[in-house]
Structures are given as C-alpha cells and as structure tokens.
Amino acid sequence: MKKIAGVVLLVSLSLISVVQAFAEDQDSVQVKKSSFSVGLKYLSNNVYLGRIDSANIMYLVPTIGYYHKSGLHISASLSYQLDAGVNKIDAVSIEGGYDFKIGENFSGGLSAEKYYYDMNSMSLNSVNNFGLSSNFSYDFSLFSLSAGAGLAFNDKTDIISDFGLAKSIEVGKFAIEPTLKLNAGTQNYYNSFLVAGKSHLTGNKGHGKGLGSVKSAGKGNSGTTTTTTTTTTETYTVVQASRYKILDYEISVPVSYNFHNFQFELSPTYSIPENAATILSSAGTVKREVISNHFVLQLGVTYKF
C-alpha cells in the first residue's frame, strides 16, 4: 500500500508541475488573490457512494482553509455527529491540493487528504485513512462535463471514479447547477468495515463496534436453570470486493447565493445505489448488501477574507 501511495503521489506531483507549466506558457491562468476561508456545513446523512450501513449519521462540519493565488490550497475540517444519543467528534480531516484553469473552459484539480476517525465511527468510509483524488471539467456553454478518479486507502486500496453532467444557471447573485453524476469503483472499504466489526451484521446497533451473542440454557446439579451468554465469532467478507462496478447515480440541484464575502449554499441530493455486494459469512451463509435510495440535504455558509 505504501509503495502504491508513493507512486501515485509522485505521479500527482509530476502532473501538477506539467499542468502548471503548460498553463503559464498559455498565459491563461486567472490571476487571483490569496485568501482564507472559514465555513460551517450541515449534512443530514453521511451517504458514501450511495450507501449507509444501518444508522443515519448527521454531521455539523466546521472548516478552515487557505487558498493561494497560485492554485495551491490547504484546509482542515471537523465532523461533529448530531444523531440522537450520539454527540461526538466523529472525524477530523486535513486536505491539500492544487486547482488550475486553462483557458475559459477547462479546469481541474489534484488533492490528497488524511482522515482521523473515531474508532467507533459508524460511517462506512471511517475505515479509510488516506485518499488521493483528481477532478477535471470542461464547459461547453450549454452544459459541462466532469470526470474524477482517486484512490482510497484502507486495508486494501479502493479505486473510485465519477462522471458528471451539469448545467450552470445564474440569476442575479444566485447560482443554480442541476447535476447528474455516476460513481463507480471497488468495495474493499465495505469488506474492511465488516472485518472491523462495525456493521449491523456483526451486532452493531449504531453506537459503536460489537459482536452478536447467543444464549444457551441448561440445568445444573441443583436442578435450577442457568443461562450463559456466549459471544459469536462469525465473520463476514465481501465477495469480489476488488471488482470495479457502478456504485450509484446521484441527482442534485445545488443552489448558492453570494452576499459580500459570504456564500450560502443549499444542496439537495437524491442517491440511487446499484450493484449490491454479495456477503459471505464464515458459517457459509450468503447475504446481499442492503441498499436503498437516499435523500441527503446539505446546508452551508462560507466566509472568505
């Protein structure tokens, strides 16, 4: 895994150098001022690639970042879980990257992100500890096409990619961008989630790790009935977790409003998961990953200075 991360990081840095040099030669990089930003975001449910395990996970996410005029940036965020009965810092992340634009229509970015999750986090992506990603977009005026690819590092590396179609509409200080998106990739993260004992399949009811238990009854020498509790050791694995496949489709209509240095955002998203995983237990039973459509609402405000 470390070797893969090193190779990908080296390739990413090389791409940054090539893109920056090309952009400067074309004299088309937009001149921007360096700035700081602070923000606060509310997420109604943490849906990862169209999926949740069992519990609804609401987050309040404060962020802070620095954006250099060259396109380089660094930011940090904290995810505070707001669900009933669970109020805690669930994750902290640090992200750094480079954004660029060539001409009026082509833009892109490369980034790396380090995650620190609470050991009892119920988030499906809590097994990921590091990620590398890239994104590219071309504006055709009538619509824009986007594509992205990345690596998510857990017990075994996942390949994740996305493809999108969007239309940007500006009405005064409002910007509306209806978007269709497809996510595809591997599901090693889900296998790691099961192995870690975080899933409802292993007895987790939404408040941390745990394994199920069974009760056995019998009569002792005194003739009284005694009951003992035995922890099960049944384990689960995802069949062909490394197989690349479509994971979900997303329909969203992000709306943003700018007022002086403030930007307010509303982003409703409807996720339609595909290709449920096949799960094999150590007892030989076969289950199917439980998937269902999800509506997610994201609200946010950002202040730049």
Q: Are 21 and 44 in contact (CB under 8 A)?
A: no
pLDDT, residue 90, reads 96
| Domain edges within the chain | 2-186+247-275+293-304
What's the CATH architecture for 2-186+247-275+293-304?
Answer: Beta Barrel (2.40)
Condensed to tens digits (0 to 9), the pLDDT of residues 122-164 reads 999 999 999 999 999 999 989 999 999 999 999 999 999 999 9
Give the up-direction half-sphere exposure of residue 65: CA atoms within 13 A in the CB hemisphere: 23
As given in the structure block, the two tokens for residue 265 are 């955002």
> Which residue, 56, 43, 129, 121, is CA-closest to 93?
129
Percent of the chain with pLDDT over 70: 80
The answer, yes or no, to whether residue 29 has pLDDT greater than 90, is no
* End-to-end CA separation in angstroms for the chain: 39
The Cα–Cα gap between 88 and 272 comes to 29
Segment 250-296, tens digit of pLDDT:
999 999 999 999 999 999 999 999 999 999 998 889 999 999 999 99
Kindly give, in sequence order, each residue whose CB lies less than 8 Å from that of residue 95, ignoring residues fewer than 6 positions away.
Answer: 74, 75, 76, 77, 111, 112, 113, 114
Give the per-residue pLDDT at 7: 42
pTM (predicted TM-score):
0.80
Question: How does pLDDT run across 63-74, given as a tens digit for each residue?
Answer: 999 999 999 999
